[in-house]
Amino acid sequence: MRKAFPFSAIVGQTEMKQALLMAAVEPRLGGVMVFGDRGTGKSTAVRALAALLPPMMIVPGCRYSCAPVDSAPCIEGCRERAGKAVQQVPVPFVDLPLGATEDRVVGSLDLERALATGEKRFEPGLLAKANRGFLYIDEINLLEDHLVDLLLDVAVSGQNVVEREGLSIRHPARFILVGSGNPEEGELRPQLLDRFGLSVDVRTPTDIGDRIEIVKRCDAFDREPDAFCARFEDAEHKVVDQIAAARKRLPKVEVPDSILELGTRLCQAVGADGLRGELTLLRAARATAALAGKKLVAPHHLASVATLALRHRMRKNVLDDTGSTARIERAVAELVAA
C-alpha cells in the first residue's frame, strides 16, 4: 500500500487541520464541511489524518469493524463467533464517489447469493465500511440530495437502518463525516449545511514562499516517500500523542457557567439559528481545551472556534455581501474582550 502524505507536513491550512483534529477528538461534533477551491490539499489532509491515527482493534472478520469490547451487539454475532481473538486494522477511510448509488452507500441484498443460492444476505455498503473511521465526500454539493439527507441522518444517529428488498437491518455506522465542495458550483441547502458541526473555508495559499514549500514537499514525497516520512516522524508522533491525550482528557474538561453564558450571548449576537450551533460551539471549545492540555475551558478557546462552529449557521441576507466570518469576528472581539 502507498504511504500517505504526513499530516504534519501539510503547509499552512491551520484552520482545516484544527477542525480535523477537533473532529478526531470529539466525534459528536458531527462532521466537518470544507469549502474551497481545488488543489488546496483538502483530500490530502483528511487522508493523512486517517493514516496517522493508531490502528484500531476489531473483531476478526467482522464486516462492520466491530470493536472487541462494546455494549452494542453486532448484527452478525461476530463476537460470539470469534471468541477472544482480535485483529488490528488501520482506521478506515472511505472516499465516497460522486456517482455512488444508494445501494452502494447503504448496502443491499447480496445479489450474488440471492441469484445463485437463493440466500437472503445483506451486502454491507460504504456506510458499514466507514464505521469507526472517516467518510470523505468530495464535492458534496453535487451529490444527489436524497443521498446527502441519508448520509447526514446516519452520521448524526450513528446507525444505518436498512428497510428494503425484504431486508430489515440496522448496523452501527459511526464515522466522522468530512465533506468538501466549491460554493461556486452549486450551494448546499442551508438545512443540510446546518447539520455539519464545523465549517472551514480553505483558500489557496497566496504566499509564494508557502506555495514553493508545498511544491518542494510534494516533490520530495514523490521521490523518496520513506525518507520524507522519516523526516516528519517526530512531528507525527506528537500529533498522535496529542490526539490520544486529548481524547482521554475530554470527558474531564469542565465548562464553567461563565463560558456557557458567553456562548449563548455570542450566538445571539451573530444571529446564528438554532440550539445546534450553540451546542457545537461549546463542544468545539471543549475539544480545543482538551487538545491544548487544559482542564478548564477558557474564553479564548471559545473565541478560537467561533467562526468554525457558527459561520454556516447564520441567516443570510442575499443582498448583503458582508461575510459571515467578518460578522462573527466582530462579535467575538466585542464579547470576549469585554
Partner 1 sequence: MNAMAKAGLLDAPAEAAPDAAAAAAARWALALAAIPLIADAPMLGGIWMKAPPGPVRDIWCEALARHKPVRRLPSSADADALDGGLDLAATLAAGRPAQRPGLLAELGDGILLVPMAERLSRSLAARLAASLDERGPVVVLLDESPPPEPGEMPENPIPQSLIERLAIHLDLTGVRLPMAALLAGETPDLDPFMPEGDMTRVDDPAGNLAAAAVALGIASVRAPIHALRLAHAHARSDGRSGPAAPDLQLAAALVLGPRATRLPPGDAPQEPENDPPPPDEPPPPNPDTPPDSPDNEQQQPNPEDLTDLVLEAAAATIPPGVLDSLSKGLAAKNSAGGSAGAKLRSITSGRPAGVRAGAPGRGARLAIIETIKTAAPRQKLRPPRDDGRLTIRHDDLRIRRFVARAASTTIFAVDASGSAAFTRLAETKGAIELLLAQAYVKRAEVALVAFRGTEALLALPPTRSLARAKKELAALAAGGGTPIAAGLALARRVAETERGRGRTPLIVILTDGRANVPDASGKPPQEAALAEARALATTGIRAVFIDCAARPRPEGPALAAAMGAPHVPLPRLDAKAVVAAVEVAQKAIT
Q: Which of 265, 334, 250 is nearest to 296 (CA)?
A: 250
What amino acid is encoded at 288 in this protein? T
Q: How many residues bind partner 1 (CB under 8 A)?
A: 56
Q: Which helix (H) or strand (E) holds 282?
A: helix 274-291
Q: In angstroms, what is the minimal distance from the CB of 162 to partner 1?
A: 14
Contact between 87 and partner 1 per CB under 8 A: no
276, 283, 286, 330: which is the annotated catalytic residue?
Answer: 276
281 neighbors 260 (Cβ within 8 angstroms) = no
**CA distances (Å), origin 140, targets 159, 187, 223, 253:** 21, 9, 32, 33
Within residues 283-322, the interface with partner 1 by CB under 8 A covers 316, 318-319, 321
Which of 54, 55, 77, 183 contacts partner 1 by CB under 8 A? Answer: 183
112 contacts partner 1 (rule: CB under 8 A): yes
Strand-strand pairing, 93-96 and 134-137? parallel
Closest C-alpha to 267, from 285, 253, 249, 252:
285
For residue 334, CA distances in Å to 80, 286, 302 come to: 58, 21, 13
**Site for partner 1, residues 209 to 228, rule: CB under 8 A:** 211-212, 214-216, 218-219, 222-223
Q: Rank residues 103 and 329 by Cβ distance to partner 1 and give the closer one.
A: 103
Q: Is 10 in the site for partner 1 (CB under 8 A)?
A: no
What backbone phi and psi angles, to 5 degrees, belong to 161? -105, 120
* Cα–Cα dist 144/214, whole Å: 34
User: Considering the rule CB under 8 A, would residue 131 count as an interface residue with partner 1?
Assistant: no
276 is catalytic: yes
* Cα–Cα distances in angstroms (integers) from residue 77 to residues 66, 82, 84, in the given order: 10, 9, 13
Q: According to the binding rule CB under 8 A, does residue 138 interact with partner 1?
A: yes
Considering only residues 14, 71, 116, 234, which one is a binding residue for partner 1 as defined by CB under 8 A? Answer: 116
Binder to partner 1 among 139, 149, 273, 329 (CB under 8 A)?
139
Does 114 contact partner 1 by CB under 8 A? yes
Identified binder of partner 1 from the candidate list 166, 252, 322, 337, rule CB under 8 A: 166
Interacting residue ranges for partner 1, rule: CB under 8 A: 2, 37-41, 43, 95, 97-101, 103, 109, 111-112, 114-118, 138-139, 141-142, 144-146, 165-166, 182-190, 204-205, 208, 211-212, 214-216, 218-219, 222-223, 316, 318-319, 321
Active site residues: 276
